[in-house]
Structure 1
Amino acid sequence: MSIPTILSARRNAVALLSLAAVLLATAGADAGTCPTDKVLTMPRKIEEAPDVGIKRETLSIVNLTGWRGVGDLRLRTRRLTVAVGGIVPTHQHDDRPSIVYVVKGEIIEHSAFCSVPILHREGDWTPEFGKGHAHWWENKTNQPVVLTSSDVVPPDMLDDPDM
């Protein structure tokens, strides 16, 4: 497969996951989102938060290679358990579409596109993708928080614990 074909296939996979996230976002409630009057049109610089107290478990990986012209990409679902006082470190989603679901507990997100922290509660989900989309999460409660995260990644990112 040629480089332009691989790049085109990768854009197609990213576009599909992005479309799914947008469709889900328009169907859900405003819970777990940035208040309308606090949404930023340009990303702000956010703190570089460290990785603290996160247990990451890969639940499943689907090889998307060749599906509808997709290049060498994987659809991965993981369970993240965020300890009391735990921090999901600052990371970006410029080129890694993801959807996070809060299975148990509540957690605070600090987003480059929101001027205030965002509270996510059990049952909330959030799409993560786009130019400048950077954020970090923290558990300020007295109980562990459980999240599931599904993302599209190239195979070399599968072994990176921070991704």
Structure 2
Amino acid sequence: MKLDLTIRLGVAALAFAAAANFAQAGECPAGKMKDNAVTTGEMMPKGVTDDVLASIDLAPKGEAFKGEALRLRKLVIQPGGIVPWHDHKSRPANIYIVSGTVTEYRSSCEVPIVHKTGDTVAEFGEGYAHWWKNTGKKPAILLSADIIHTNMDDHMM
């Protein structure tokens, strides 16, 4: 009975540790967040394809959505490839890392953030700016869902 309780406590401890690590995956490490930690980055795309898979005009949803579209894109970033510096003041996005590894250099983090297969990143806010680089050895494939102003370039990063 005592051994059974020890095993259960051990399994619970492992589950909590795994959950804590999962919550940390792809985020700025504790103690490393800082406003304007990074203020610029690579300015030109390199080794990246950006294909719009679908787009929905949001104007029928009402006046607040006039001139806005919901867009789904597939980005493939080759090893050494770059998604250049950009911000998310007015363009919220959710990113899903389908495969590979990509490193993010974020304005609010003193250290690079490594995103791996299965990670998600929510991008939005006045102070949210960043750039990405594939520091891995294989292409990184990302899906990006964002809301854009329809007068923006369809392939704006």
* Mapped partners of 1:125, 1:157: distance in 2: 24
Contact 1:32 1:121 in 2 (8 A): yes
From 26, 33, 40, give the equivalent of 1:46: 40
Does 2:141 match 1:140?
A: no
* Mapped partners of 1:145, 1:133: distance in 2: 22
Question: TM-score normalised to the size of structure 2?
Answer: 0.80
* Unpaired runs of at least 5, structure 1: 1-27
Question: TM-score normalised to the size of structure 1?
Answer: 0.77
From 82, 88, 104, give the equivalent of 2:77: 82
Measured after TM superposition, the shift of residue 68 of structure 1 is: 4.7
Contact 2:96 2:144 in 1 (8 A): yes
Q: Percent identity?
A: 37
* Mapped partners of 1:48, 1:158: distance in 2: 19
The alignment covers a number of residue pairs equal to 134
Structure number with larger C-alpha Rg:
2
Q: Which runs of 4+ in 1 moved over 3 A?
A: none
Equivalent positions of 1:65-76 (< 5 A) are 65-69=59-63, 70-76=65-71
* Mapped partners of 2:153, 2:70: distance in 1: 10
What is the root-mean-square deviation of aligned Cα atoms in Å? Answer: 1.5
Residue 114 of structure 1: aligned partner: 109
Measured after TM superposition, the shift of residue 156 of structure 1 is: 1.5
Residue 124 of structure 1: aligned partner: 119
